[in-house]
Amino acid sequence: GGRGGSVINLSSIMGKIATPGAAAYCASKGAVLMLTKAAALEWAPLGIRVNSVHPGYVETPLVHNILREVENGNEVRETLVLQHALGRLAEPAEIANAIVFLASDEASFMTGSEMVVDGGYTAR
Catalytic residue numbers?
25
The CA distance from 104 to 124, in Å, is 30
Q: What are phi and psi of 83, to 5 degrees?
A: -75, -15
The CA distance from 47 to 61, in Å, is 36
C-beta atoms surrounding 80 within 10 Å = 17
Contact between 90 and 57 under an 8 Å Cβ cutoff? The reply is yes
12: closest CA among 87, 71, 67, 90? 90
Contact between 104 and 33 under an 8 Å Cβ cutoff? The reply is no
